[in-house]
């Protein structure tokens, strides 16, 4: 299979005011295009919402910033894909003609990427305790107060040793 460079395509998109962002989904690399930095503003709003939700649930720590950034990036990509999917008329499959000339139906690339992102988002929401299932596992019930134990009587040997010291 012949590989072609996508550099000319990317440079043309950048000239036209488009930016790029991307991620790896399953075994394929998918490049996401967005125009005018919309994704950046959207990401900061999403991050604020995620951090606020985590603080409200009592599971936020500064150590999670990197994981939150990855999760927010995937959320932004998923929202961009949803918009493109809606614009395509919610098209799930399209026709594909293989080398032998047979025409088959296959999932659209956007739908395939959305499926993979759904799985990744579920995994990251589990890591960040943002769904009820994982939150219940982490949530700590009130710790019962221990009964005060009466002091055990000391043995004669311990009493004798403590008197000599």
Read off φ and ψ for residue 130, nearest 5 degrees: -100, 10
Share of the chain above pLDDT 70, in %: 69
Q: Which residue in this structure is represented by tokens 């999403």? A: 46
Q: Are 110 and 81 in contact (CB under 8 A)?
A: yes
Mean pLDDT of the chain: 77
What is the rounded CA–CA span in Å between residue 149 and residue 51? 43
- Tens digits of residue pLDDT in 16-57: 444 444 443 333 333 344 443 445 678 899 999 999 999 888
- Tens digits of residue pLDDT in 129-156: 898 888 777 766 554 565 676 777 788 8
| pLDDT higher at 25 or 64 | 64
Q: Are 118 and 81 in contact (CB under 8 A)?
A: no
Q: Are 117 and 81 in contact (CB under 8 A)?
A: yes
- Tens digits of residue pLDDT in 88-124: 999 999 999 999 999 999 999 999 999 999 999 999 9
Distances (CA, A) of 70 to 36, 41, 100: 21, 15, 41
What is the rounded CA–CA span in Å between residue 81 and residue 86? 8
pLDDT at 157 over 70: yes
Angle at 74 between CA 117 and CA 28, to 5 degrees: 50
What is the rounded CA–CA span in Å between residue 112 and residue 93? 10
């Amino acid at each position: 299979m012949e590989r072609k460079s996508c550099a000319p395509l990317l440079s043309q998109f950048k000239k036209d005011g488009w930016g790029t962002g991307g991620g790896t989904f399953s075994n394929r690399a998918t490049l996401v295009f967005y125009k005018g930095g919309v994704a950046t503003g959207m990401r900061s709003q999403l991050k604020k919402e995620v951090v606020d939700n985590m603080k409200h649930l009592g599971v936020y720590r500064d150590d999670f910033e990197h994981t939150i950034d990855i999760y927010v990036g995937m959320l932004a990509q998923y929202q961009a894909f949803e918009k493109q999917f809606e614009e395509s008329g919610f098209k799930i499959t399209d026709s594909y003609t293989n080398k032998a000339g047979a025409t088959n139906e296959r999932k659209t690339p956007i739908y395939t990427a959305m499926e993979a992102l759904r799985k990744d988002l579920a995994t990251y929401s589990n890591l960040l305790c943002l769904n009820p299932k994982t939150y219940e596992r982490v949530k700590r019930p009130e710790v019962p107060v221990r009964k005060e134990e009466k002091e055990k009587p000391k043995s004669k040997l311990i009493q004798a040793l403590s008197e000599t010291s």
